[in-house]
Amino acid sequence: MDFDKILEKCGDAGRYQYLILLLLGYIAFTSTVHYYSQNIIGFVPQHWCYHEELENRTHEEIAAIYAPFGSRAACTRLDNIEVHEGVYNVTVSSQSCERWIYKYDYGFRSMNVELNWVCENAYKARIGQSLFFLGSLMGTFAFGMLGDRIGRVRAVILANQCGFVGDFLTTYASNVTQFSAFRCISGLAATANYYLMFILVLEFLAPKLRNLAISGVLGLCFCLGALVAPWLSVLAGNWRIYLTFSALLQLIVALFYFVVQESAQWLITRNNVEGAIARLKLIAHFNGRQVPPADFEAFQRYCTAKRKHESQQSKATLFDLMRTPHLRRTALIIIFTFMLTSLSFNTISRNVEGLGMSPFVVFSLFAVVVPPSGFLQGLMQSRLGRKATCFVALAGTSLLACALGVCQSFESVQLNASLLLAFAMPTRLGISICYTTFSQYSSELLPTCVRSRGIATAHLAAAAASVTSPYLIHLGTRWAAGPSFILTALLLTAALLSLLLPETNNRQLPITLEDGEAFGKGESMLSFDCWRARDDDVLKQPAEELKLNALNGARRNTSPETEADADAEAEA
């Protein structure tokens, strides 16, 4: 009796599964608030150089005085201001600004405002934000290792506590050194606080819940987190109070230790079958199921036989993958394309300033387009296939980014919020489709034997590339269209690279390195699934299921005593 069968008897779609789905939704919500906090605390409202003559004037009058200086108004210091018959005569000072007058957006005082990190000092906030991504890179690796050593539950809790400590310490930062160090600590949780819980939940869910339920919960909670984050900061009114809220949300995850059961499959890999059975019994009790002791004994025999079988098999490594020419080429294309896609996603989703509208409103509008992106992705993949969907999404988003850059090139258009949003929102929709589509597509291209390690390597490379995202956004303060044009080049490159990969839709996916080396060999760049004749489709059953069916057919007359050995062979 394998794990899926014993889990079905204990309940794989019961009360416990709905509980951990709810907790996964909470993690998705808090991780979204945590991720976007680095962007929100750095919002820069409209500002002008301070002058004593401007103290008692309205923001509209100050804007009219500085209007002749255009985009340089925020950092231009005036030496003398005279008014003659309603006309302002000003003299520009040769000295740099030391104080500013801020027009607070919804009354929110950001970190950049409080520490005056604007104009020449605006780069300081970007350093801290880039170190946040560096922390994410280290946290993804470190907590992934910890998850295999100390268990999934403890690793999830520790990751969220790093986020709590980092956000809480950031509220006391008063210089760029402190801010950068604390944001790096906070970044340790940026990815690990979510994906470890995702793996844990996936292991306890019935197959029928793994697609619709997880996708629905994550889509709803990610959208809710992105909607709540900006308005939570408005409610707080100050960046320090907002970060305190974000920290407390992560502190609550420590209570998961008393509710969430440790991964039974992880316990089995640590040769702790008794511990796995104890967790399964607790889940069965929570779900109101009665499981005979004989079933647990059969499961224990299966685990013993499987471990004995696996000890006799040699395991493939990433170094073995690099010795296969065709598969090595595929893996390198996946890593580089994922780096470009991830960098573009982090830049577009966080670049909410300079669109002629309050960044709080833009943030909310960007969040609204996330759920439809999942629907469009599913529709396109079912009609076009993986490869065509990936190419169309990347190429289309690059064209939208280019159109947005063209609009931002003209100062007269930079204040036309409607026109800018007409291109910015479809670009945000497109990059969501790009990121989720390529994440799924890349996981199907790698053989089963190295899939987890290969995807982990791609995510680490993507986190490293995302370190440059804050500086790319900062470029927009000097050249408004710069980020959009660079993103156009990045996405177009990713689109062309995706054409070099084989189609996976309706194909038997590779299991071994030999399968991966032969997979897609000889395919042309334009071999899309939507262009193939339907009667030539390959059987959609994965190779694992075909092997299992063959084994089941061969063992119809197998005795119960050898059933565990056969199950272990089928699993392997």
Q: How many CB atoms lie within 10 A of CB 383?
A: 11
| Interior/surface letters 134-162, b for 16+ CB within 10 angstroms, e for the rest | bbbbebbbbbbebbeeebbbbbbbbbbbb
Q: What is the per-residue burial (b if ≥16 Cβ within 10 Å, else e) of 82-106?
A: eeeeeeeebeeeeeebeebbbeebb
Residues 163, 214 contacting (CB under 8 angstroms): no
- State pTM to two decimals: 0.79
For domain 315-530, give the CATH superfamily.
Answer: MFS general substrate transporter like domains (1.20.1250.20)
Report the amino acid identity of residue 259: V
> What pLDDT shows up at residue 85?
63
Within the chain, which residue ranges are assigned CATH 1.20.1250.20?
Answer: 1-37+114-313, 315-530
Per-residue pLDDT, 543: 45
Interval 341-355 mean pLDDT: 88
Domain 1-37+114-313 - what CATH class?
A: mainly alpha
Cα 244 from Cα 229, distance rounded (Å): 13
Pick the range with the lowest mean pLDDT from 98-112, 151-165, 542-556.
542-556
Q: What is the pLDDT of residue 452?
A: 67
Closest CA to 252 of 95, 475, 33: 33
Closest CA relative to residue 294, chosen from 560, 4, 15, 572: 560
Asked if residues 298 and 491 have their Cβ atoms less than 8 Å apart, the reply is no
Question: Identity (one letter) of the amino acid at 545?
Answer: E
| pLDDT tens track for 205-248 | 877 776 667 777 887 888 899 899 999 999 999 999 999 999 99
Nearest CA among 252, 216, 226 for reference residue 40: 226
Please state, in angstroms and as integers, the Cα–Cα distance from residue 319 to each residue in 152, 343, 501, following that order.
26, 26, 21
**What radius of gyration do the chain's Cα atoms show?**
27
Measured distance CA(51)–CA(275) in Å, rounded: 70
> Residue 51's pLDDT band (boundaries 50, 70, 90)?
confident
Three-class SS state of 83: strand
Q: Determine what percent of the chain falls in helix, strand and coil, rounding each to the nearest 5.
A: 70, 5, 25
List, in order, residues 6 or more apart from 332 with CB less than 8 Å away.
Answer: none
Instruction: Specify the long-range contacts of residues 75-80, CB closer than 8 Å, at least 24 apart.
Output: 75/49, 75/118, 75/119, 75/120, 76/49, 77/49, 77/51, 78/49, 78/51
Residue given tokens 């946290």 in the structure block = 139
Distance, CA of 201 to CA of 120 (rounded, Å): 47
Q: How far apart are CA 465 and CA 490, in angstroms?
A: 12
Give tens-digit pLDDT for 513-564. 888 888 888 787 777 777 765 544 444 444 444 444 444 444 434 444 444 4
- The whole-number average pLDDT for the span 467-492 is 90
